[in-house]
Amino acid sequence: MGAGLQIGFGFQRLIDAQQRYMRCGQPVYLRLRNFPDARTLASAQLGFSVSPTGSNKGTTDVLIDPPPSVVNVSVHNIGQSMGKLRFGARIFRVSATFVERQMETRGLDNADLVWRSADVVGLVCDNLLYSLEDIQNSVVGERAIYWQLTCNCNELR
């Protein structure tokens, strides 16, 4: 293994330790849809109402471990987003360790699909659902060490 990969792995371990032991906050979950996207069905495209039936319905919440860092988006950045971000938006910094585990568990071949696949609904924190608006990763030594997710809160308390 090259020195670049080793330093990336080391940074990832440091981020995992910091998020697991030094930060405080509520648990955050990745919400996944248990049924195919109804918008892709021919009947839905023709305007018929479609709802899932059977055993594959509802959603599953997957705990993000180590817990991500959560920061409020500043009012300045909300103003500069040209209407994309709303008040209550948050930035979630998720360790690449969680992403790697999700790739294994869900059988994904690309790390972006952990966040961009059709079954992803959003993130849940404090009983609020957040939609993923911007997805970026930070790379050190040819290795992604964390993912930064800018999210809108679509619900009111």
In percent, how much of the chain has pLDDT > 70?
A: 71
- Which tops the pLDDT comparison, 10 or 101? 101
DSSP assignment of 36-83 equals --GGGSHHHHTT------SSS-SEEEEE-SSPPEEEEPPHHHHHHTTT
Q: Is the pLDDT of residue 25 over 70?
A: no
Task: Just give the CATH number of 3-37+58-153.
Answer: 2.40.10
Q: What are the sequence ranges of the domains in the chain? A: 3-37+58-153
Task: Judge whether 132 and 123 are in contact, CB under 8 Å.
Answer: yes
For 127-157, how does the pLDDT look when each residue is reduced to its tens digit (9 = 90+)?
889 989 889 988 887 778 889 998 888 765 5
Rg of the chain taking only CA atoms, in angstroms: 17
- Has this prediction a pTM greater than 0.85? no
Q: Is the pLDDT of residue 102 over 90?
A: yes
Overall average pLDDT of the 100-116 stretch: 91
For 54-84, how does the pLDDT look when each residue is reduced to its tens digit (9 = 90+)?
666 688 899 998 888 888 776 656 665 656 6
- Which tops the pLDDT comparison, 48 or 122? 122
pLDDT of amino acid 51 = 64
